[in-house]
Amino acid sequence: MAQKTVLIAGASRGIGLEFARQYAIQGWKVYAGVRTPAKATELMRVKGVEVIPLDVTSANSIAGAAWHADEDPLDLLVVCAGLYGPETQGFLAPGNEDFDAVMHTNVLGPMRVIQAFADSLISRRGKIAVISSTMGSISGTTSATGLLYRASKAAVNMVAKCAASEYGPRGLTVVSLHPGWVKTAMGGPNAQIEAYDSVLGMRGVLDRVGPADNGAYLNYDGTPIPW
Ligand code: NDP
């Protein structure tokens, strides 16, 4: 069977690093996109991974990374880079700087990354996983905690839906995934699951989904999440 290729945007640590590690062990060709390669020391130690510069807030950087996918068509794109921003309790509007940083990373970044890699994925009838969060579920929201992050994840869910509408008819399957509450820098030490189990679950989901699931919003165990 031909070797499969995945590109992970935001692979320096946390969930993205774990995706890189697990796909490399499975024998995939792994492009691990990170904004500061020199700082991605743990990732550098993972065998079989090609670390490439990719800052999702830079159009030039995305264009540079997309060059790899022209050379080597992708079967899977995982858009994992994310920023939580201010840890607010209650309804507290962010300042301009926080707003720009979080929305740029969590919303504009995925838009640009998906657009840049879509053609490469189409040639393989590939899949796109947008790592979202249940905090982006509008119907599931009962608190204003992390207001800006919630708004960004609701927005990126729409980005995923729009990508599903645009690219589904051309053979791609696009899903929004909630990774669970994961022990990473973002999830913190009290989170419920290890990155290993989160990624193991999401890999299983990504193996199973096909065109009939295009546009779905799924938990890391495959359970549908209400929008
Ligand atoms: P971490 O904070 O551990 O890691 C965030 C990752 O995003 C880092 O690799 C970071 O790189 C990267 N990143 C941030 N900005 C950029 C950028 N401009 N360009 C490229 N990479 C960037 O978070 P997690 O691993 O926990 O989160 C991964 C994804 O999962 C995020 O989208 C997050 O919102 C989502 N998620 C996480 C949950 C959890 O419980 N942990 C729960 C629900 C969703 P760098 O090292 O350069 O900063």
CA atoms of 19 and 34, how far apart (whole Å): 13
State the pLDDT confidence band at 72, using cuts at 50, 70 and 90.
confident
Q: Using a pLDDT cut of 70, give the percent of the chain over it.
A: 100
Query: What distance in angstroms lies between residue 83's CA and the mean position of ligand 1's atoms?
Result: 6
Axis crossing angle, helix 147-167 with helix 96-103, rounded to the nearest 10: 30
Whether 30 is covered by a domain: the verdict is yes
Whether 227 is covered by a domain: the verdict is no
E-state strands within 163-214: 173-178
Could you give the ipTM of this predicted complex?
A: 0.99
What confidence tens digit (pLDDT) does each residue in 115-126 have? 999 999 999 999
Look at residue 177 and tell me whether its pLDDT is greater than 80: yes
Judge contact between 184 and 195, C-beta under 8 A: yes
Look at residue 66 and tell me whether its pLDDT is greater than 80: yes
Look at residue 1 and tell me whether its pLDDT is greater than 80: no
pLDDT at 70: 81
Query: What distance in angstroms lies between residue 187's CA and the mean position of ligand 1's atoms?
Result: 10
E-state strands within 168-227: 173-178, 216-219
**Tokens 């490399």 sit on residue:** 24
- Is the CB of 12 within 6 Å of ligand 1? yes
**Tokens 């994992």 sit on residue:** 80
- Is the CB of 82 within 6 Å of ligand 1? yes
CA atoms of 74 and 210, how far apart (whole Å): 16
pLDDT at 108: 98
- Is the CB of 13 within 6 Å of ligand 1? yes
Q: What is the CATH number of the domain that holds 141?
A: 3.40.50.720
Q: Which ranges of 107-194 would DSSP assign to H, the alpha helix?
A: 109-122, 147-167
Look at residue 69 and tell me whether its pLDDT is greater than 90: no
- Is the CB of 85 within 6 Å of ligand 1? no
Q: What is the end-to-end Cα distance of the chain in Å, rounded?
A: 37
**How many domains does one find in the chain?**
1
Closest CA to 195 of 22, 9, 7: 22
Whether 62 is covered by a domain: the verdict is yes
Whether 180 is covered by a domain: the verdict is yes
Q: Which residue type sits at 75? A: D
Instruction: Give the per-residue SS3 of 48-66.
Output: CEEEEECCCCCHHHHHHHH
The number of the ligand 1 atom at minimal distance from the alpha carbon of 153 is 34
Enter the tokens of residue 193.
């699951």
- Is the CB of 181 within 6 Å of ligand 1? yes
What residue numbers bound the domain in which 118 lies? 5-219
Query: What distance in angstroms lies between residue 20's CA and the mean position of ligand 1's atoms?
Result: 13
pTM: 0.98
Q: Is the dihedral of CA 107, 202, 76, 128 positive or negative?
A: negative
What confidence tens digit (pLDDT) does each residue in 100-117 have? 999 999 999 999 999 999
Q: Is 6 helix (H, G, I), strand (E, B) or coil?
A: strand
More confident residue, 82 or 123: 82
CA atoms of 91 and 32, how far apart (whole Å): 36
> Which backbone phi and psi does 67 adopt, to 5 degrees?
-60, -40
State the pLDDT confidence band at 65, using cuts at 50, 70 and 90.
very high
If one residue of 49, 105, 184, 217 were mutated to test the ligand 1 pocket, choosing by the most ligand atoms within 8 A of its CB, it would be 184
pLDDT at 75: 98
